[in-house]
Structure 1
Amino acid sequence: MAVALSFVLLAAVFAAGCGQQNTVRRSDKIKVGVTIYDQYDTFLSQYMECFTKELEADEEVEVVVYNASQSQQTQNSQVKKMIEDGCDILCVNLVDRTDPTTVIDAAKKADVPIVFFNRELVEGDIGRWNKLFYVGADAAQSGILEGELAASTCLSDKTIDRNGDGKIQYIVLEGEAGHQDAIVRTEYSVDTLVQKGVEVDKLGYAIANWNRAQAQTKVAQFIENYHDSIELIMSNNDDMALGAIDAYEAAGMIKSEWPAIFGIDGTTVGLEAVRDDKMTGTVYNDKEGQAHALYRLTTTIARGGSIEELSDEFEVTDGKYIRLDYEKITATNINKYLKVK
C-alpha cells in the first residue's frame, strides 16, 4: 500500500539531523536519495514541500531525505550512504558549489545519476559525466528583474530620493561570500539599476548569508550610521529583505523614513510583506515549477529515459540544464502570487 509523503514527514527527517534519515517505501522500482544544504532556508523548505507533493502522486517511488546542516563533509557522507543503501538516483542541493568532486566521483563510480538543484555547480564540473543534470533558474535574470523593479520605483516615485540630491543612496544585502548566485544577483541588479538611468551612491553592502537575523543585525548597524539617509535596499533574497524590515521596525522609524526594499524568491512571508506595503517588491523564484521539473527529470532519468524527452515541457539546455524563469512582483500583481500559495 502506498504511503503518502508529506512535508510533515520531511520536517521530522530534518529535525532528526544528519545522523538519521527517514525512508518512505512505495515500491521497488525507484529509490530516490535527496540531500539539502540547510533545512532552515525558507525558500528551500517551501521548495521541498512542493517536491513532496509531486512524489505523493507517484506510487513507484521510495525516497530518503537528508539535511546536510551547511556542511559539505556531512553531505559527502550522506551521498555515500545513499549510494550504499541502493538509491537509483540522487537529488543534491550542494552545500559548496565549488567542491562537488567527492559527490560526483562517488556517484560516477557507482553509476548513480545526480540531479543537482537550486544551488548550481560550476559548468566545468557538470560536464565531467553525462549523468549529471541541474534544475534551477538563471541567477542573472533574477538580478536583472530586481534592478528593473528598483529602477521603475526610483524613476516614478520622486519621494524615494529623500535628500533631493538626484542620486539614490543604497545598500546591498548579499548572500554567502563567493556564492555564484549572490555574486550574480548583486552585479546584475546594480548594473541594471544604473543602465535604466538611475544615478546611485553606494553607502555599503553586507554579507548576511541568506539569513533574516543576520540581515537585521547588519541593517541595524547601517541605520545607526546613516539613519534615514538610506533610500534603497536591494537584497539577494527575501529573508534578508525581511531582516532589513525587522531592523527598521525595531528602530522605531516611521514608514516615510524607510528605504524602498526589494528581495528575491517570493517566499510566503516575502509575498505577505509586499502585500502589507513593507517590502516594495520581490522577484518570484518559481519553486512550484522547479519542484515539478525536478520530479519529472529525476523519475525520467531513473526510469531509463533522457532529459531530451522533457523538451516539450521545459526548456532544456546543453542536454544538462532545465531552468525556469523568474517573475517580477509588486503590489499591483501580488494577489496572483498569493493565490499560488
Structure 2
Amino acid sequence: MKKKIGIVLLVILSLQNFSGCSRGIDLDFSKDKEIKNIKIGISLYDQYDTFIDSIADYFNKAVREKEREKNVTIQVNMVSANGSQSKQNDQVEQFVEQNYDIICVNLVDRTDPSMIIDRVKNANIPTIFFNRELVEEDLERWDKLYYVGAVALESGIMQGKIMNAICKNDFHSVDKNKDGKIQYVMLEGESGHQDALLRTEYVIDTITKAGYSVERLGDEVANWNRAQAETKMNNWIQKFGANIEVVFANNDEMALGAVEAINKKKDIINPMILGIDGTKEAIEAIEQGEMTGTVLNDSKGQAESMLELAYSLVTKEKLSSDIILLDGKYIRLPYEIVTKDNVEEIKKSIK
C-alpha cells in the first residue's frame, strides 16, 4: 500500500512540474509582448520608375507618421532590383538572413515569384507583393502572402471613358480629318506585361463598345519609359503627321515622352494625349493643356495600405476599418479619372 501511495504522489508531483513549465512557456510567447521595433525589407523592381518612386516616397512618409502614432521604431530597408529578377531574389534572400519581420516585393517578373515564395515560406516571414500583381495561383501557395494594388483593366476602361466623354460632347474636336474614325497610336509598357496588355485592350474595347470607330496607325512597346516613348512618337510624327488624332499611353511617363516630341512639332501635329498613373508631372501637363487626361493610380493609398497591412501582420493588431482585405489576401485601391474638369481637386488630394 505504501508503495502504491508513493507512486501516486510521484505522478502528482510530476504533473505539477509539467504544468508549471507549460504556464512559463505561455507567458513567454512573443505575441503577448508589446512590439517596439519592426524591420521591413522592400525590394522595388526599379527605383527610377516615377510611379514606383512615388509609392516609395509615400511609404516613408507613412512610416514616420506611424512611428509617432504608435511610439515604435520602424526600420525600412528599401532597395532596387534595377529590372533584374535574379537580383531581386538575392535581395529577398538577404532580408530573410537578416531576420526581417516582414518583406514587401514589387516584382520584376510577375510570372516568376517561385524562388521568393519558397524562401519566405520556409523562413515563415509574411510577404506583401505590391503594384505588379503575381498570378493568383502563386499567391495561393501560402496563407501569409498578400497583394496590394489596383485592378489593371479598370484603368484601361477609364481611359476609354475619358475619350468617350470628349467624343460625346464634341466628336469633331477628335475627328479632325472628318472621316468618322479616331486615328490613334498606342504606347505600350513592357512586352507581355499584364497591366500593359489589359490597358491596351480595354481602352479600345471601351471606345468601340460606345459606338465609335477607331483606326490604329501604330502600336509600339516603350517599356514605361519617357525617352523611349519620345523616340517612338518622333517616328510616328514623321510617318503619319497630322493624321494622328489621339495618343494612348499605358502610363504617364510614356505620355509625357509623347508630349515632349509633339511640343517640338506643334506646327505639324496636335493630338489628344491620355496617360495612366496620375503622376505630379502629368497633373501639371493636364493643367497646362499639354495632356488631355490621365487615370489616377493611387500611389499614396497603396503605400499607406501596405504599411497598415505590414504593421497589422507583425503586431497582430486589427486592420483599420477603412481597409478591406478581400479574400484574406488582397487590398484593392480604386482608380480615378483626371481631366481639366477636376485636375485642381485631384492636385490638392495627392499632396
Q: Do both proteins adopt the same fold according to a TM-score greater than 0.5, normalized to the shorter chain? A: yes
Counterpart Cα distance in 2 of 1:225 and 1:156: 30
Who is 2:282 aligned against?
270
User: How many positions carry a matched residue from both structures?
Assistant: 310
Task: Please point out which of 145, 153, 175 is paired with 1:140.
Answer: 153
1:282 and 2:291 aligned: no
Q: What secondary structure does 1:119 align onto?
A: coil
The CA deviation at 1:311 is 7.0
Q: Specify the code of the residue in structure 2 equivalent to 1:202.
A: R
CA 1:311 to 1:126, structure 2 compared with 1: closer, same or farther past 3 Å? farther
Who is 1:297 aligned against?
309
Task: Please point out which of 186, 189, 200 is paired with 2:200.
Answer: 186
1:90 and 2:103 aligned: yes
Aligned-residue CA RMSD in angstroms?
1.3
Alignment of 1:113-124 (within 5 A): 113-124=126-137
The CA deviation at 1:253 is 2.0
Counterpart Cα distance in 2 of 1:115 and 1:302: 12
Counterpart Cα distance in 2 of 1:126 and 1:311: 23
The answer for unaligned runs of 5 or more in structure 2 is 1-34
Deviations, residues 235-271 of structure 1 (Å, cap 9, x unaligned): 1100000011111122x223x8311110000000000
Counterpart Cα distance in 1 of 2:95 and 2:237: 47
Who is 1:103 aligned against?
116
Who is 1:4 aligned against?
none
Counterpart Cα distance in 2 of 1:238 and 1:154: 22
Counterpart Cα distance in 2 of 1:29 and 1:63: 11
Q: What secondary structure does 1:40 align onto?
A: coil
In the alignment, is the contact (CA less than 8 A) between 1:155 and 1:198 conserved in 2? Answer: no
Deviates more, 1:27-36 or 1:289-298: 27-36
Who is 1:152 aligned against?
165
In the alignment, is the contact (CA less than 8 A) between 1:148 and 1:196 conserved in 2? Answer: no
1:49 and 2:61 aligned: no
Counterpart Cα distance in 2 of 1:47 and 1:153: 31
Q: What secondary structure does 1:310 align onto?
A: coil
**Higher share of residues assigned helix:** 2
Counterpart Cα distance in 2 of 1:302 and 1:72: 26
In the alignment, is the contact (CA less than 8 A) between 2:237 and 2:269 conserved in 1? Answer: no
Deviates more, 1:166-175 or 1:312-321: 312-321
The answer for unaligned runs of 5 or more in structure 1 is 1-26
1:319 and 2:328 aligned: yes
The CA deviation at 1:316 is 2.3
Structure showing greater radius of gyration is: 2
The CA deviation at 1:318 is 1.3
1:196 and 2:210 aligned: yes
Q: Specify the code of the residue in structure 1 equivalent to 2:291.
A: M
Counterpart Cα distance in 2 of 1:162 and 1:331: 21
The CA deviation at 1:294 is 0.6
Q: What secondary structure does 2:259 align onto?
A: helix
Who is 1:328 aligned against?
337
The CA deviation at 1:317 is 1.5
Deviations, residues 104-125 of structure 1 (Å, cap 9, x unaligned): 1110010011001111101110
Who is 2:13 aligned against?
none
Q: What secondary structure does 1:264 align onto?
A: coil
Who is 2:78 aligned against?
65
Q: Among the aligned pairs, what percent are the same residue?
A: 47
